[in-house]
């Protein structure tokens, strides 16, 4: 049937590198289609009405040009596609089956049937295109967040320019009601931002100076001055479009099954039809070649795999669109399909299940040091680190520390920091780091996330950093359990004392603490090795530090990582908000989509099997074959559109 996807070149007028929604929509024109269908229907009706009258006169030959005109008017594009495919070596497709069936009908003087097959095929194509176009418009409306212009600040004035003409570090202004055209950092102004197009969340987000802002957001109040940090083609909105365009290229298991199935099914149908046309007249007394040729042609019409070819991609197309509406970007049908088999979900803790916004909650000095003294010491050494814990210590200090005294700075991943301050060695980190340095401290289980400090190899005390659990995290664990996920596991680099309370509060099945980034990779690989064959493992992380594990997992999920290049590159699914419960929503959408797709497969194959038997026995005529083929296709398409909801 009609190709659902349109292959576009790199020179697509709308800038798409892969599938282009605008090109596909422009390709379909209802008025153009009706210009062929209506005259064909009129000619067919006229031919049927006057056929008997003409046959009784010397003008009986007139019926042939009438039916031939109707046939070519409705079927020229099918014949042309069949010819082009044959020239490329693509023999067995629906265009070939339709062409052979209808040309055969013309040769045995079944003129009305030949025209009817092409006409109803054309009507079926029209109805299918209307359904597909509706889905295209739905997804296009979800992704219609591409900004038209940017207010570029140039020589003290604002100039409207296309977003792709704005360079990094340029200043742009976004006024109330306008869409943010590029990613950047807010320099001036505050605003309530509508982020629903990106995150699927209706609650507005407050943006203030110093905060990152993403293309696609809409300013509800206040005027913002923004310093651009990414070119337009690297911005969040461009990556969303690229994701959706590329999604059509990744086939699901049912799509791959149909591709393989069609490779054997169509030649088998043609061979069967050939045997039906030739063998019975040779073996059965009184059987005529014309009668059995007609049955063979009926068989070809019934056997067209239109319903499967169009409805299965359309089902996944709708499922991906439905997920994007809820702020969940799925990179392809294969990943949507993999979600249905997820039985183990592994969460990173910090920034995924917890807020990731650390605060100093306790300061405990030792060996004669004071609270202010160890806080100042920690703030000075942490000036060289970008870790969230470092930022929380500096914020608790309350004034800018002097970084000039810090020399020989060394950050040890997963443990802490070593440096010299005014020539004196200072260590700030976890319990393991102090043990490695041979510093006796006697406080191995301080509770929470503890930053231990040592000054000149002498233990100075510790600072407790707390991170609050997200309100949505508990519902995420419960929802996953309701959806049949057997194991929910938490991995964290924090020590046991910080991990245990969070795990207990959330009710996860198990947790592993004190992990370095490479340890998380080993833990996930071990879980995969222990999994039941066919079960999938999903890993959910913030998409930055956890990129290696996201890439390793059967289904890698980056959460709240839309602004991160690591998230986009490594993840199979990107949850654009900070709500971990969206993973359960994604699983629900995936299972609903897969259920609809397999309903279509069973429906199409069952009905076609029945009518193939009826056609072979001579009970079904070509008229019934057309209705059976088009009817099944339309039922499957209507069922597929349910995935959009």
Q: Which of 93, 183, 194, 348 is catalytic?
A: 348
Residue 559 tokens read as 């959460």
Neighbours of 57 (CB within 10 A): 9
Question: 441 with 459: CB under 8 angstroms?
Answer: yes
Q: Edge-to-edge strands of the sheet including 342-348?
A: 328-330, 573-575, 555-559, 536-541, 342-348, 487-491, 510-512
Q: In terms of DSSP bridges, do strands 184-188 and 205-207 run parallel, antiparallel, or are they unpaired?
A: unpaired
Catalytic site includes residue 348: yes
Nearest to 578 by CA among 360, 328, 369, 384: 328
What DSSP assignment string belongs to 471-510? TTHHHHHHHHHHTT--EEEEE-SS-HHHHHHHHHHHT-SE
Question: 64 with 107: CB under 8 angstroms?
Answer: no
- H or E, element range at 363: strand 359-365
Residue 281 tokens read as 């007249």
Residue 178 tokens read as 């306008």
Residue 395 CA to residue 358 CA, distance in Å, equals 10
Cα-to-chain-centroid distance, residue 554:
15
> 45 — alpha (psi -120 to 50), left (phi > 0) or beta?
alpha
Q: Which residues contact 577 (CB under 8 A, 6 or more apart)?
A: 199, 200, 201, 327, 560
Neighbours of 51 (CB within 10 A): 16
Residue 78 tokens read as 């099918």
For 286, phi and psi rounded to 5 degrees?
A: 85, -10
Residue 324 CA to residue 340 CA, distance in Å, equals 17
Residue 44 CA to residue 51 CA, distance in Å, equals 10
What DSSP assignment string belongs to 107-166? HTT-HHHHHHHHHHHHHHHHHHHHHHHHHHHHHHHHT----S-EEEEETTEEEEE-GGGP
Taking the CA atoms of 271, 273, 276 and 277 in sequence, report the sign of the dihedral they define: negative
Q: In terms of DSSP bridges, do strands 573-575 and 328-330 run parallel, antiparallel, or are they unpaired?
A: antiparallel
Cα-to-chain-centroid distance, residue 239:
12
What does DSSP assign to residue 469?
A: B
The residues that are catalytic are: 348
């Amino acid at each position: 049937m009609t190709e659902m996807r349109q292959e576009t070149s790199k020179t697509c007028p709308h800038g798409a590198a892969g599938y282009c929604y605008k090109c596909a929509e422009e390709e379909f024109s209802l008025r153009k289609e009706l210009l062929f269908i209506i005259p064909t229907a009129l000619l067919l009706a006229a031919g049927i009405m006057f056929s008997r009258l003409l046959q009784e006169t010397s003008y009986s030959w007139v019926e042939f040009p009438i039916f031939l005109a109707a046939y070519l008017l409705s079927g020229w594009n099918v014949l042309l596609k069949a010819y082009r495919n044959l020239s490329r070596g693509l023999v067995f497709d629906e265009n070939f089956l339709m062409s052979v069936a209808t040309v055969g009908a013309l040769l045995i003087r079944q003129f009305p049937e030949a025209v009817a097959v092409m006409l109803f095929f054309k009507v079926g194509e029209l109805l299918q295109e209307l359904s597909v176009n509706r889905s295209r418009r739905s997804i296009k409306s979800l992704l219609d967040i591409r900004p038209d212009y940017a207010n570029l600040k140039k020589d003290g004035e604002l100039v409207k320019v296309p977003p792709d003409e704005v360079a990094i570090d340029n200043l742009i202004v976004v006024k109330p009601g306008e869409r943010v055209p590029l990613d950047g950092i807010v320099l001036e102004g505050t605003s309530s931002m509508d982020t629903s197009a990106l995150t699927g969340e209706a609650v507005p987000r407050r943006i203030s100076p110093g905060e990152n802002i993403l293309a696609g957001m809409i300013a509800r109040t206040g005027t913002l001055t923004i310093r651009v940090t990414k070119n337009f083609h690297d911005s969040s909105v461009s990556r969303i479009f690229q994701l959706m365009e590329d999604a059509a290229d990744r086939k699901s298991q049912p799509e791959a099954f149909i591709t393989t199935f069609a490779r054997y099914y169509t030649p088998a149908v043609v061979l069967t039809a050939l045997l039906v046309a030739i063998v019975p007249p040779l073996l059965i007394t009184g059987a005529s070649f014309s009668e059995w040729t007609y049955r063979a042609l009926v068989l070809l019409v019934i056997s067209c795999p239109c319903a499967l070819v169009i409805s299965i991609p359309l089902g996944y197309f709708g499922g991906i669109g439905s997920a994007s509406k809820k702020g969940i970007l799925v990179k392809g049908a294969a990943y949507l399909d993999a979600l249905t088999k997820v039985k183990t979900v592994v969460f990173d803790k910090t920034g995924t299940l917890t807020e990731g916004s650390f605060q100093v909650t306790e300061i405990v000095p030792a060996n004669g040091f004071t609270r202010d003294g160890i806080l100042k010491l920690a703030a000075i050494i942490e000036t060289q680190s970008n870790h969230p814990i470092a930022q929380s210590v500096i914020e608790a200090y309350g004034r800018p520390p002097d970084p000039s005294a810090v020399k020989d700075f060394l950050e040890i991943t997963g443990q802490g920091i070593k440096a010299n301050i005014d020539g004196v060695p200072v260590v700030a980190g976890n319990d393991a780091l102090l043990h490695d340095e041979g510093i006796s401290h006697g406080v191995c289980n301080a509770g929470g996330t503890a930053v231990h400090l040592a000054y000149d190899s002498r233990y100075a005390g510790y600072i407790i950093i707390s991170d609050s659990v997200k309100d949505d995290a508990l519902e995420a664990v419960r929802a996953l359990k309701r959806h049949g996920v057997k194991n929910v596991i938490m991995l964290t680099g924090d020590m046991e004392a910080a991990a245990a309370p969070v795990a207990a509060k959330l009710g996860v099945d198990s947790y592993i603490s004190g992990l370095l980034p490479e340890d998380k990779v080993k833990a996930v690989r071990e879980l995969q090795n222990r999994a039941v064959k066919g079960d999938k493992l999903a890993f959910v992380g913030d998409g930055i530090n956890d990129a290696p594990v996201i890439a390793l997992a059967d289904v890698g999920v980056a959460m709240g990582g839309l602004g991160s290049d690591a998230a986009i590159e490594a993840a199979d699914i990107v949850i654009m908000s900070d709500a971990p419960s969206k993973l359960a929503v994604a699983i629900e959408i995936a299972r609903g989509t897969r259920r609809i797709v397999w309903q279509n497969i069973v429906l199409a194959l069952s009905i076609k099997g029945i009518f193939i038997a009826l056609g072979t026995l001579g009970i079904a005529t070509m008229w019934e074959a057309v209705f059976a083929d088009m009817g099944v296709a339309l039922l499957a398409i209507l069922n597929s559109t349910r995935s959009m909801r």
